[in-house]
Amino acid sequence: MAELVAVIASTHHPFYYRASTATGEDRPPFADEWVRKVEAFRETLTKARPDVLVMVGSDHFHQLWLDNMPQFLVGKAPFYDANFYNEEREFGLPRMLLTGQEDLSAYVLREGLDAGFDLAFSNELRIDHSITCPIITLRPQNDLPIVPIYTNIFAPPLPQPKRFVQLGRTIRQLIESWPENKRVAVIGTGHLSLELGGPRQFGPTGPDPQFDRKAVEWIASGDIEGCLAEVTLDSLHLPGNATHGFMDFMLMMGVAGEGRKADYVDTYDLFHTMEAYFTWYPNGGRS
């Protein structure tokens, strides 16, 4: 059977690549500390020695639009073109090609349907920065096959927060029942408080530092029930108009398990957002 060797959750700031590679006067003053934090975070994945990455993210209206918006989608292609023109133009992100782990994609899709999740799929999925950013930060050599799983956090009607947690639990069950001798890491990215295009977008921190502190505590302590008791689709509008991306963090809490404290936690306040990094080792990191 496959072994779940790491559960990793983080924000996905698309400006990291440009900030980290800039030199001279173009290099922002916060870049060195940001790079230091990301490189330390990267070691938590390296330590796990995965063979396959299951990547949870959300399409930013690049490929999926209001004419066909799945709630949960599994990519099942041999390769994935990654990053779109506007991401190259605005964020300086490079074009990428990611390899797919087709047999695990097919297993997650079939078994996920049988477990009660009506998952959509795509054989022609193109990936955007919700998945390429964690590849850049955590595995810049881009040498491992992936299974991309997209969630709908942008286009109402959205799934309820508890459904994200339930999907996270199911993903873990499916990985641990996959009949292949592979080491699998699950990496998911989302948002803490976030405002896009609104009056609170460009502050010195995220738009709601109080929510950010509470969210980090929920995630770090594995307090799924406490989180579900306070977080609703309506409440997520209050910290910022794009804060529904926090539900992807809730999904990752579901993968990690109720009451499971993170083995690694770090944060970094940046302009307009707090960056946050979490890692759990299901077996204690011993294997």
Q: What is the pTM of this model?
A: 0.96
Give the lowest-confidence range in 125-139, 170-184, 199-213, 233-247: 199-213
Q: Rounded CA gap, 54 and 51, in Å?
A: 10
Sort strands 264-270 and 273-280 into parallel, antiparallel or unpaired: antiparallel
pLDDT band with cut points at 50, 70 and 90 for residue 272: confident
Structure tokens at 172: 């873990």
Please give the share of the chain, as a percent, with pLDDT higher than 70.
Answer: 99
pLDDT of residue 287: 59
Which backbone phi and psi does 260 adopt, to 5 degrees?
Answer: -85, 110
pLDDT band with cut points at 50, 70 and 90 for residue 70: very high
Mean pLDDT rounded to a whole number for the chain: 95
Over range 74-84, report the average pLDDT. Answer: 94
Tell me which residue has tokens 């460009």. Answer: 202
pLDDT of residue 286: 61
SS3 92: coil
pLDDT band with cut points at 50, 70 and 90 for residue 196: confident
pLDDT of residue 25: 94
pLDDT band with cut points at 50, 70 and 90 for residue 3: very high
Q: What is the DSSP string of 254-270?
A: HHH-TT---SEEEEEEE
Contact of 179 with 84, CB cutoff 8 Å: no
Residue whose C-alpha is closest to residue 249's, from 190, 185, 193 = 190
Sort strands 273-280 and 120-122 into parallel, antiparallel or unpaired: unpaired
